[in-house]
Amino acid sequence: MPLFDLSDATPYLSTDSARVVWTSGWDALLAASGRCIRVNARGVSVKPSHWTQADLAGIGWTSIQCEASPHALCDTGRGLCFPLPEKSPGYNPLTAWGGLGCSRADDGRTLIASSDVYDVSSCDALDDGGDLVFCNGALAFARTDLSPWAYWSVCLLAVYIVRALSYLVLRRVERADAEDQGGAAPARLAEDDRTVAASACCVAVVLASGWGRAFVTQEEAVAAGATLVYVLAYMGTWACARWARADLADPPIYNLISGTLLLVATRLYAGTETPYNAALIWAIAARIGTKLRSRACVATLITTPLDALVLSLLCTLGFGFDPLLLVGILTASFAVGDMI
């Protein structure tokens, strides 16, 4: 699942000062070997050929037929999609389909008011949350970015949750020291309650921000749905433990934080491929190792299979690096599980 960043340049797609050319070289190989090509402000991602396209029309995307072209990624019959550098993109704003448009004054395009042509250029994908997907001979468009209030809410909540994780690690060390000295570390349930509340708010904002229409393949939708179930299960486990005043062998807050951050990352990047997956794989795998070595309880028996499910989906659908790196991450995570 190749994923590469785009430069903020118009009117042609470019990465690291090199223009993307869909008709030759590595770019053409990606276009020919993938199921779908997705272009937005986060970059260009290519979905594997064995994945299945989601019902984009059913989740609010606008589609148009787009045939292969030697001059662009594809040709809609009403204009080219990402034309090659030798052709200046032309457009008539009145013929834009699906809400396409650029918001910058200098976009490098040529206005052709007397024509019904609308060539899709880089600014259609880079501006205002534009998102383009070329899949199975059709080009789909939607605006999938988060609104400013949702983006900043999610970011601030994520910062608080990461901060809470650092305090949880310190508390675990304090508890281990106290047990070695024959005592017990004091419980800090109020802090844990605030962490769970922050995670719940984060999930609510993510779901309210158009979460359901952000995924363009069924595999990504399944992985995102499993992550949501994972987070809700840990919230329910904590709520039941607090209601029953149970003494959990291993509090579920660590996994709740990891699941919430994974859900946030998949929403921000509108897919399973995110730069944070390696760290999250390490965190979840380390927790599995720790839980398998701790005193068993009902919560552990229920949640450990969920850990394995989410970890397997994350490794198979969201890890785009060398598999040998994944072996190293899992080895390090189980070593850390032994240490803590």
Each residue's pLDDT tens digit, 25-57: 888 888 888 889 999 998 899 998 899 999 999
Domain count along the chain = 2
Whether 27 and 160 map to the same domain: the answer is no
12 and 80 inside one domain: yes
283 lies in the same domain as 218 = yes
Bridge partners of 284?
none
Domain range holding 21? 3-143
Portion of the chain with pLDDT greater than 70, in percent:
90
Q: Which residue has the higher pLDDT, 197 or 338?
A: 197
Angle between helices 218-244 and 253-268 (to 10 degrees): 150
Complete DSSP assignment for 152-167:
HHHHHHHHHHHHHHHH
Does residue 161 sit in the same domain as residue 304?
yes
Using the 3D structure, point to which of 88, 120, 143 is the last residue of a domain.
Answer: 143
Same domain, 132 and 155: no
pTM for the full predicted model: 0.88
E strand intervals along the chain: 3-4, 14-15, 18-19, 36-40, 43-47, 62-65, 67-69, 72-75, 80-81, 90-91, 110-111, 130-135, 138-143
Over residues 178-192, the mean pLDDT reads: 58
pLDDT score for 80: 94
Of the candidates 126, 143, 160, which is a domain's last residue?
Answer: 143
Judge whether 57 and 51 are in contact, CB under 8 Å: no
